[in-house]
Amino acid sequence: MKIAVYPGSFDPITYGHLDVVSRAAAVFDLVVFAVLVNPQKSAPVFPTEERVKVIREAIDECCPTDIAARIEVESFDGLTVDFCRRRGATFVVRGLRAISDFESEMQMAHTNRKLAPEVDAVFFMTALEHSYLSSSLVKEIAAFGGDVSQMVPPSVASRLAGRSRGL
């Protein structure tokens, strides 16, 4: 059984993430969506458990049933490679939107392989129509009352709208 981990902050999940995970689930037997508990970038807008819940909802809402059945969602703390070992995963999936993503992704892939040579990195080019998307931009737009309905699933858009004043 080929198991892949798709790690990230996912604060919040966007259509770009859903594109990557659904394409990965067409390749691997199981993809574990791994939500980092404490992203270093900034304090998360959505607490970990809410991110996990929202991602599960988004997958069930947006992915075909056979694809959704091959995706699990979990939170994790610590190293991605340790989480991979716990889950028996030998692949880490990441999305590449543009050349600007490449440098940091290459650095992470090489570092992870140094730490765990049995875990390899697999990259999916984010679909062109989603390649401009980022969770940070989505949060900023929502904070100013902008329309993010083409960027995130409905359950995420409504949650963001509900808390945009607090951002």
Contacts with ligand PNS, 10-49, as mask; x by CB under 6 A: --------------------------x--x----------
Q: How far is the CB of 157 from ligand PNS (least distance, A)?
A: 19
- Are 7 and 83 in contact by the 8 Å Cβ rule? The answer is yes
- Are 116 and 86 in contact by the 8 Å Cβ rule? The answer is no
List, in order, residues 6 or more apart from 73 with CB less than 8 Å away: 32, 33, 35, 52, 55, 56, 59
Q: How far is the CB of 65 from ligand PNS (least distance, A)?
A: 26
Largest CA distance in the chain: 45
Q: Assess 79 for contact with ligand PNS (CB under 6 A).
A: yes
Which residues are identified as catalytic? Answer: 17, 41, 97, 135
- Applying CB under 6 A, which residues contact ligand PNS? 7-9, 36, 39, 79-80, 108, 111-112
